[in-house]
Structure 1
Amino acid sequence: MTRQERTDRARTLRQTSGLAERRTWSLLRGGRCDGFKFRRQHPIDRYYADFACEALRLVIELDGPVHERDEVVLNDHYRQLDIEALGWVVIRFTNAQALGEPHQITDAVRDHARRVRSVPHPPTQLR
Structure 2
Amino acid sequence: MVSTSIRRATAKKLRASTTPHERTLWRALKELPVDGTHFRRQAPIGPYVVDFLCPAAHLVIELDGGHHNDDETAKRDRERQLWLKQEGYRVVRFWNSEITDDLNAVLERIYVELHGSREAPAEPLKHRRRR
User: 1:75 deviation in Å?
Assistant: 0.9
1:111 aligns with 2:97: no
Native 8 Å contact 2:7 2:48 kept in 1: no
1:33 aligns with 2:32: yes
Larger Rg: 1
User: 1:108 deviation in Å?
Assistant: 1.4
Structure 1 counterpart of 2:51, one-letter code: D
Alpha-carbon separation, structure 2, partners of 1:5 and 1:100: 35
Aligned counterpart, 1:56: 57
Aligned counterpart, 1:125: none
Give CA-to-partner distance per residue, 1:5-63, whole Å, 9 cap, x none: 3222111011111110110111113xx21124100011111111100001111011000
Report 1 or 2 for greater relative contact order, CA contacts < 8 Å, sequence distance ≥ 6.
Answer: 2
1:87 aligns with 2:88: yes
**% identical aligned pairs:** 33
Q: Can you give the 5+ residue segments of structure 2 that lack an aligned partner in the other structure? A: 121-131
Matched ranges for 1:38-49 at <5 A: 38-49=39-50
Could you say what secondary structure the match of 1:33 adopts? coil
Q: Can you give the 5+ residue segments of structure 1 that lack an aligned partner in the other structure? A: 118-127
Question: What is the TM-score with the length of structure 1 in the denominator?
Answer: 0.83
Alpha-carbon separation, structure 2, partners of 1:15 and 1:115: 33
Alpha-carbon separation, structure 1, partners of 2:26 and 2:3: 26
